[in-house]
């Protein structure tokens, strides 16, 4: 069985987290036999079934090297372009980066939203995106460097806010009015759409399994 990933290999699923391939199996779908990865996502204690043919399209990749992990950590303290005050534009830009899913893309999201939060409290959706990206970054760098999550969490914080350093955010791009103050019904509408993007992004019935359910034989569910 020739597949890019092997059983027991650790992988990154950008919108879900770091996981391990627990099984590669065939399953019938629409009268055709398809090859699937069964991936256990530790952070959410969840199992996902992903068609082998769609894994690359969904951004599933192997854990980065030690060098790449260290470069991602360094990126957190780099200078960056001014941040737009339009939260919806900012959110979509960062969501697109999350879908691309490289470790540097994820570090860029964390850096952007952390520094924006120092200017003004993040809207609910951006806070959720920040927490997801930060957790994913911690997990992957922890695996890549072979260090405990707590140690990596502290390292990320130090890179974002070096002791005694002046804030790096000098200004933001100001629009006519700050979109952070939009009505909550707009936020709720965006939340419904974005949850589909982040959690399902092409991972509907064909990407998870025929029904989208978890493995009914697994004791965790």
Q: What are the backbone dihedrals phi and psi of residue 82, each rounded to the nearest 5 degrees, phi first? A: -55, 150
3-state helix, strand, coil in the chain (%, to 5): 45, 20, 35
The CA-based angle 137-138-143, given to 5 degrees, is: 100
What is the reported pLDDT for 19? 94
C-beta of residue 59 within 8 angstroms of C-beta of residue 99:
yes
Pick from 87, 84, 86, 109: which is nearest to 96 by CA?
A: 109
What is the reported pLDDT for 85? 83
Question: Helix/strand/coil (H, E, C) string of 22-83?
Answer: EEEEEEEECCEEEEEEEEEECCCCEEEEEEHHHCCCCCCEECCCHHHHHHHHHHCCCCCCCE
pLDDT, one tens digit per residue, over 59-115 is: 899 999 999 999 999 999 987 777 788 889 999 999 998 888 899 999 999 999 999
> What does the alpha-carbon distance between residue 142 and residue 119 come to, in Å, rounded to a whole number?
29
Both tokens of 40, joined, read 């256990």
What is the reported pLDDT for 61? 93
Residues of the chain scoring pLDDT < 70 = 1, 164-221
- The β-bridge partners of 27 are 34
Entry field: residues in the chain:
221
Alpha carbon 61 to its chain's center: 12
The CA-based angle 66-69-73, given to 5 degrees, is: 135
The CA-based angle 126-131-132, given to 5 degrees, is: 95
Q: In terms of pTM, does the model score above 0.85?
A: no
Both tokens of 169, joined, read 């955010």
Residues near 177 by beta carbon (within 8 Å), at least 6 away in sequence? none
> What does the alpha-carbon distance between residue 126 and residue 123 come to, in Å, rounded to a whole number?
5
What is the reported pLDDT for 65? 95
């Amino acid at each position: 069985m020739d597949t890019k990933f092997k059983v027991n290999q650790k992988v990154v699923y950008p919108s879900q987290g770091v996981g391990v391939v627990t099984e590669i199996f065939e399953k019938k779908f629409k009268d055709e036999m398809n090859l699937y990865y069964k991936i256990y996502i530790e952070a959410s204690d969840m199992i996902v079934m992903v068609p082998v043919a769609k894994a690359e399209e969904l951004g599933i990749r192997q854990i980065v090297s030690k060098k790449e992990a260290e470069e991602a950590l360094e990126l957190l303290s780099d200078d960056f372009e001014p941040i737009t005050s339009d939260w919806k534009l900012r959110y979509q830009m960062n969501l697109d980066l999350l879908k691309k899913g490289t470790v540097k893309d994820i570090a860029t999201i964390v850096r952007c939203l952390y520094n924006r939060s120092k200017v003004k409290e993040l809207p609910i959706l951006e806070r959720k995106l920040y927490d997801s990206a930060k957790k994913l970054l911690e997990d992957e760098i922890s695996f890549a460097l072979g260090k405990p999550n707590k140690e990596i969490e502290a390292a990320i914080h130090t890179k974002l806010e070096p002791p005694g350093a002046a804030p790096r955010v000098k200004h933001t791009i100001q629009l006519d009015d700050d979109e952070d103050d939009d009505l909550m019904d707009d936020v709720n509408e965006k939340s419904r759409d974005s949850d589909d993007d982040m959690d399902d992004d092409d991972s509907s019935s064909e990407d998870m399994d025929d029904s989208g359910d978890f493995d009914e034989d697994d004791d965790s569910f």
